[in-house]
Amino acid sequence: MARIFITGSADGLGQLAAKSLIEHGHKVVLHARNAGRGRDAIKNTPEAESVLTGDLSKIEETKNLAREANKLGAFDAVIHNAGAYQASAKEVFAVNTLAPYILTCLIQKPKRLIYLSSGMHLQGRSKLDSFKTDSSRISYSDSKLHVLMLCMAVARKWPDVYANALDPGWVPTKMGGRSAPDDLQKGYETQVWLAASNDEKAKVSGRYFFHQKERHHNPEADDVLLQETFLNLCKEITGISFPHV
């Protein structure tokens, strides 16, 4: 049995992954943006161990969320699932790029880390030259490339952790919209598998998956120099260094 923390689990793929993990006998700690959504999260998934709150568009709330998560003790896996799409560039950047960086740095290192990217990262650009001075140019696709860069950097720097990213497909959640064409169940199965399965194929690191199969990703994410620049910029913006051990 594993203990898993899932960001953005009041709704959508985060909630579905939480339910599936609990059904498989695992313990899950939920996360929601505020107390009201926290109540919704527990109402939707009452079997969860508990729910933590914090608005990931605010750096201080994200840091506090990490402190609250650490108070609950170590997790076997953390799924960085929360994401913003139809929001300002500033919010997309804070929620999709900075929050996974902050939480990865500050939450006690789990055995497995899973990052929700998107097929749209293929159209993204890292924009590291203006990333610190002008986040208004960061698109959703850019942010999903950033989270993939973070995942690949983590996989390289922490060989004792399985760190992987995935594209859930275009699925009918609040974000994906009702007419999204891909299979909703397949949209959460990969993160559940990566978080808790003993399948040797899930015990890998530095991979990008679509429906439990490795898929081509933007090679910029594997560029060590770009990764280091990315981590340094995140450090300058958040005041948090990436821990090397």
Ligand X SMILES: NC(=O)c1ccc[n+]([C@@H]2O[C@H](COP(=O)([O-])OP(=O)(O)OC[C@H]3O[C@@H](n4cnc5c(N)ncnc54)[C@H](OP(=O)(O)O)[C@@H]3O)[C@@H](O)[C@H]2O)c1
So which residues are the catalytic ones? Answer: 140, 144
Cα–Cα distances in angstroms (integers) from residue 214 to residues 51, 143, 226, in the given order: 32, 20, 22
Residue 124, interface with ligand X (CB under 6 A)?
no
Q: Which of 42, 89, 122, 180 binds ligand X (CB under 6 A)?
A: 180
Subset of 86-115 contacting ligand X (CB under 6 A): 95
Residue 3, interface with ligand X (CB under 6 A)?
no
**What order do you get walking across the sheet with 207-210 strand by strand?**
50-53, 27-32, 3-6, 77-80, 112-116, 162-167, 207-210, 213-214
Distance in angstroms (rounded) separating the CA atoms of residues 54 and 8: 10
Residue pair 137/170 in contact by the 8 Å Cβ criterion: no
Residue 165, interface with ligand X (CB under 6 A)?
no
* SS3 assignment, position 223: coil
Can you say whether residue 211 is alpha, beta or left, with left for phi > 0 and alpha for psi between -120 and 50 degrees?
A: left
Question: CB-wise, 52 or 231, nearer to ligand X?
Answer: 52
How many residues in total does the chain contain?
245
- Give how many residues touch ligand X by CB under 6 A: 27
Q: How far is the CB of 159 from ligand X (least distance, A)?
A: 26
Q: How far is the CB of 46 from ligand X (least distance, A)?
A: 17
Q: How far is the CB of 176 from ligand X (least distance, A)?
A: 3
Residue pair 245/157 in contact by the 8 Å Cβ criterion: no
Residue 10, interface with ligand X (CB under 6 A)?
yes
Q: Which of 20, 45, 81, 190 binds ligand X (CB under 6 A)?
A: 81
Q: Which of 2, 13, 66, 231 binds ligand X (CB under 6 A)?
A: 13
Name the burial class of residue 181, with classes exposed (0-12), middle (13-18) and buried (19+) by CB atoms within 10 angstroms of its CB: exposed
Binding mask 26-45 for ligand X (x = CB under 6 A): -------x---x--------
Distance in angstroms (rounded) separating the CA atoms of residues 8 and 17: 11
Residue 8, interface with ligand X (CB under 6 A)?
yes
Binding site for ligand X (CB under 6 A): 8, 10-14, 33, 37, 55-57, 81-84, 95, 116, 118, 167-168, 170-171, 173-176, 180
